[in-house]
A = this chain, B = another copy of it.
Amino acid sequence: MAEGEAVEVPNKQVILRDYVSGFPKESDFMVRTSTIRLKVPEGSNAVLVKNLYLSCDPYMRSRMTKLEGSYVESFVPGSPISGFGASRVLDSGHPNFKKGDLIWGITGWEEYSLITTPETLFKIEHTDVPLSYYTGLLGMPGLTAYAGFYDVASPKKGEYVFISAASGAVGQLVGQFAKLLGCFVVGSAGSKAKVDLLKNKFGFDEAVNYKEEQDLEAALKMYFPNGIDIYFENVGGKMLDAVLVNMRLYGRIPMCGMISQYNYEQPEGVHNLFCLIAKRIRMQGFLVFDYYHMYPKFLDTVLPLIREGKITYVEDIVEGLENGPAALIGLFYGRNVGKQVVIVARE
């Protein structure tokens, strides 16, 4: 072949059929096979990657909707969806990346992707930990947990911490950070398996199965007779209302997500906001995109904790891109136990 030519290969892709309303269904997606040339176009600074692991994250729900002026962009109906992944560089037009490098960042839900914004990618330098971790613990959700807990929550040793969606990618890490700091930590999750994980695997002090509680407010009162200093908010809605009345004076609520609300056309109303005044509570939304500059410091903190076994991590791994849509929508039904990952290819 002449210079610049390359074989076209089949490229399996996950396509969004149309914008989604209500709970997403598997039939909102289809898997089709396209073709791709495994070479970066002449003169482009793009990067061509083979995708190995893809991350299923709750924020992706909003991308299934027609968005205007949001912090993320809508998926394009009829095109492959995208999300965080860990991938191998096959060809590069960008000076920071070369063939053979491993990267994590936003890539396509397909076997191979041409990434035209390589400046958004992170090079993976440490491979003594599982590569899939870079879709979670060592990637976007991990940095989210780190920034949300240490920066937004202003935590202090001995404080009372409550985490919703606690067995998810972000929650499990926040809980472990809080335990390492010497906090009392309770998490909520939606099944016995998840609750067991929180208590027996991640070392939470207590765990609540919110689906089995008739009265969340009373349940929280039982776990936190002195109230909650920090509520790490992942779910919104009724849980937030129940937490607000159980907060302590000068409490903090880092707002990371509201997964309970993403499938509603009209979000539920939150009624107990006056508690913010009476208890002088700070409720603060944040997005990980504002904290990417902290990534090297985050790695310096977390990698040793993983190597020393002081932080553990549970993934729910699904094999094969064709099983991706089911895994992704499973998030919104709480089907995953631990961080939901899709393996596209084992090298």
User: In this complex, what residue of B is CB-closest to A276?
Assistant: B285
Interface residues in A200-258 (C-beta closer than 8 Å to B): 236, 240, 255-258
Check A286 for interface membership: any CB of B closer than 8 A: yes
Across the interface, A276 reaches (CB within 8 A) one of B266, B271, B277, B283, namely B283
Complex contacts, A270 vs chain B, CB 8 Å = 269-271, 273
- Indicate if the CB atoms of A277 and B287 lie closer than 8 Å: yes
Check A268 for interface membership: any CB of B closer than 8 A: yes
Complex contacts, A290 vs chain B, CB 8 Å = 280
How far apart sit A30 and B256, CA to CA, in the bound complex (Å)?
Answer: 50
Check A70 for interface membership: any CB of B closer than 8 A: yes
Given contacts A282-B282, A283-B284, A284-B282, whether A271 and B277 have CB atoms under 8 Å apart is no
Across the interface, A269 reaches (CB within 8 A) one of B257, B268, B277, B283, namely B268
User: In this complex, what residue of B is CB-closest to A249?
Assistant: B71
Complex contacts, A263 vs chain B, CB 8 Å = none
Complex contacts, A273 vs chain B, CB 8 Å = 236, 240, 255, 258, 267, 270
How far apart sit A277 and B275, CA to CA, in the bound complex (Å)?
Answer: 19
Check A278 for interface membership: any CB of B closer than 8 A: yes
Complex contacts, A285 vs chain B, CB 8 Å = 275-282
CB distance from A281 to the nearest CB of B (A): 5
Complex contacts, A275 vs chain B, CB 8 Å = 285
Check A35 for interface membership: any CB of B closer than 8 A: no
Complex contacts, A281 vs chain B, CB 8 Å = 284-285
Check A79 for interface membership: any CB of B closer than 8 A: no
Complex contacts, A286 vs chain B, CB 8 Å = 277, 280
Check A301 for interface membership: any CB of B closer than 8 A: no
- Indicate if the CB atoms of B274 and A258 lie closer than 8 Å: yes
- Indicate if the CB atoms of A283 and B283 lie closer than 8 Å: yes
Across the interface, A255 reaches (CB within 8 A) one of B71, B240, B276, namely B276
Complex contacts, A255 vs chain B, CB 8 Å = 273, 276-277
Q: What are 18 A-B pairs with beta-carbon distances under 8 A?
A: A70-B278, A71-B279, A236-B273, A256-B277, A257-B277, A266-B271, A267-B272, A268-B271, A269-B271, A276-B283, A277-B286, A277-B287, A278-B287, A280-B287, A280-B290, A282-B284, A282-B285, A284-B284
Which positions in A face B, CB cutoff 8 Å?
70-71, 236, 240, 255-258, 261, 266-287, 290
